[in-house]
């Protein structure tokens, strides 16, 4: 080349592209650029891809040639979209470009003309997964070097380069997912083992604290009674956390069991309110229907609602109440009992809301492990119900737990 590209040359180039290793994206694209540079006797070949974070086209892959090294040295391997130039033009118009008089081209960047001194260019858009994501640019220091046939050749090769890039991205993503899944599996196993060990330690600690509180009550030491109560509450919270960890493991192992029976939602919520109300956060129960009996495991529904109420208290301003509203709704496929848990906190950030029930997902400002809401939703689903959330910005959060009404069938 230049000249009429024959089928043998195209075939040899494609064979080299097929040999591109399934490695990381820069390595794969560099290999492809070298193959194109050899086939076209070019002085430089670049595979630019869009970096949305920088609003730039970045030469992820370049041929291993002196002109490529100079390009990196002067910073012309990163091209801002706003600055224009022929690479940007190809990307935006999605059309090939060819010139043999680049030094006289006012549409090219000054640095490319004066520093790299490129005379001829031919470039085509690169598609990844059916979307234009970059540009394949072939350059020569010789004037009028590339022909119309060369342009057609680069168009054909550009499709293969896009396929290679897409394949490399998929390989990278699979690798990242595998590493993440491996880390998660190890973390989950470690947490389960620790939870079992911690539960064994909690029983004697709790027993000693009960003895200390009883002794303080008998001797009328009010301060010690308060301290004992505070310590017992802290142990109780730790016990609930351990229970959540172990229940997540039971869900994974398929040994999560429900003891279904008639449950009065109003009475259950009243018990939870008495347990979780504090001087700074009162839990209020309102029953919109006189009797709401659901088919449920009372201990599991309590666990679900306690997670919701505890979460609401944690995110509520001091002195504001948390409200639990019980109602019955009629649906086409059967009646359901509903519990709405409402707080007056800042609400759930919009970026967190879609993933709020994901396992081990907690917001950046959260100190939790991201298990409470995940487990609460799984408990709801296990009952044949659902757990949903609504949180208008700055207006608190509303969680709805729905469970099928109990029937004699």
- Express each pLDDT in 365-382 by its tens digit: 554 455 778 888 888 988
Is the Cβ–Cβ distance between 306 and 268 less than 8 Å? no
Neighbours of 367 (CB within 10 A): 7
Is the sign of the CA dihedral 106, 111, 113, 118 positive or negative? negative
Angstrom distance (rounded) from CA 169 to CA 325:
49
Helix or strand run (H / E) with residue 247:
helix 222-253
Q: Which residues contact 37 (CB under 8 A, 6 or more apart)?
A: 43, 44, 45, 63, 65, 138
**pLDDT at position 227, please?**
82
Check pLDDT > 90 for residue 2.
Answer: no
Which residue, 281, 288, 283, is CA-closest to 271? 283
pLDDT surpasses 80 at 300: yes
150 to each of 4, 16, 25, 102, 125, how far by Cα in Å? 8, 18, 26, 16, 15
- 120-165 pLDDT tens trace: 999 999 988 788 999 999 999 999 999 998 898 888 888 878 877 7
Residue 4: pLDDT band (50, 70, 90) is very low
Distance CA 318, CA 308 (A): 17
End-to-end CA distance of the chain: 82
Residue of 367 and 287 predicted with greater confidence:
287
Bond before 170 cis per omega within 30 degrees: no
Quote the Cα angle for 202-203-204, to 5°.
Answer: 95
In this model, does residue 5 exceed pLDDT 50? no
Residue 29: predicted pLDDT? 84
- Output the CA–CA distances (angstroms, integers) from residue 116 to 70, 73, 108, in the order listed: 7, 11, 12
Determine the pLDDT at residue 10: 57
Q: Which of 81-85, 250-254, 258-262, 308-312 has the lowest mean pLDDT?
A: 250-254
**Contact criterion met (CB below 8 Å) for 51 and 26:** no
Alpha carbon 129 to chain centroid distance?
21
- pLDDT single digits (tens) 224-239: 888 888 787 777 767 7
Closest of 363, 330, 335, 263 to residue 303, by C-alpha = 263
d(CA 349, CA 369) in angstroms, rounded, equals 17
């Amino acid at each position: 080349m230049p000249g009429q590209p024959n089928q043998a040359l195209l075939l040899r180039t494609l064979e080299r592209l097929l040999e591109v290793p399934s490695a990381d994206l820069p390595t794969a694209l560099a290999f492809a650029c070298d193959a194109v540079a050899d086939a076209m006797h070019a002085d430089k070949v670049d595979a630019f891809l869009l970096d949305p974070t920088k609003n730039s086209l970045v030469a992820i892959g370049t041929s291993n040639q002196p002109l490529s090294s100079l390009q990196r040295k002067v910073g012309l391997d990163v091209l801002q979209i706003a600055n224009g130039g022929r690479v940007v033009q190809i990307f935006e118009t999605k059309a090939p470009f060819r010139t043999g008089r680049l030094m006289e081209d006012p549409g090219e960047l000054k640095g490319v003309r004066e520093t790299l001194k490129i005379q001829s260019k031919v470039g085509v858009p690169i598609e990844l997964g059916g979307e234009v994501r970059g540009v394949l640019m072939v350059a020569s220091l010789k004037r009028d070097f590339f022909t119309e046939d060369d342009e057609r050749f680069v168009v054909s090769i550009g499709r293969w380069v896009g396929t290679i890039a897409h394949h490399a991205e998929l390989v990278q993503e699979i690798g990242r997912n595998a590493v993440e899944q491996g880390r998660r599996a190890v973390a989950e196993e470690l947490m389960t083992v620790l939870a079992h060990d911690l539960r064994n330690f909690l029983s004697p600690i709790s027993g000693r604290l009960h003895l200390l509180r009883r002794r303080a009550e008998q001797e009328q030491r009010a301060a010690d009674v308060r301290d004992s109560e505070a310590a017992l509450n802290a142990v109780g919270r730790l016990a609930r956390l351990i229970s959540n960890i172990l229940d997540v493991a039971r869900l994974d192992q398929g040994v999560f069991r429900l003891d279904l029976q008639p449950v009065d939602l109003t009475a259950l919520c009243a018990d939870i309110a008495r347990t979780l109300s504090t001087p700074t956060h009162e839990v209020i129960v309102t029953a919109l229907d006189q009797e709401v009996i659901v088919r449920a495991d009372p201990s599991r529904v309590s666990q679900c609602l306690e997670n919701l109420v505890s979460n609401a208290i944690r995110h509520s301003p001091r002195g504001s109440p948390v409200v639990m509203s019980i109602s019955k709704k009629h649906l086409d496929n059967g009646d359901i009992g509903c519990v709405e848990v409402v707080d007056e906190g800042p609400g759930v950030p919009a970026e967190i809301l879609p993933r709020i029930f994901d396992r081990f997902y907690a917001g950046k400002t959260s100190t939790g492990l991201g298990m409470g809401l995940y487990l609460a939703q799984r408990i709801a689903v296990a009952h044949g119900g659902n757990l949903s959330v609504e949180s208008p910005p700055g207006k608190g959060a509303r969680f709805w737990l729905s469970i099928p009404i109990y029937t004699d069938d």
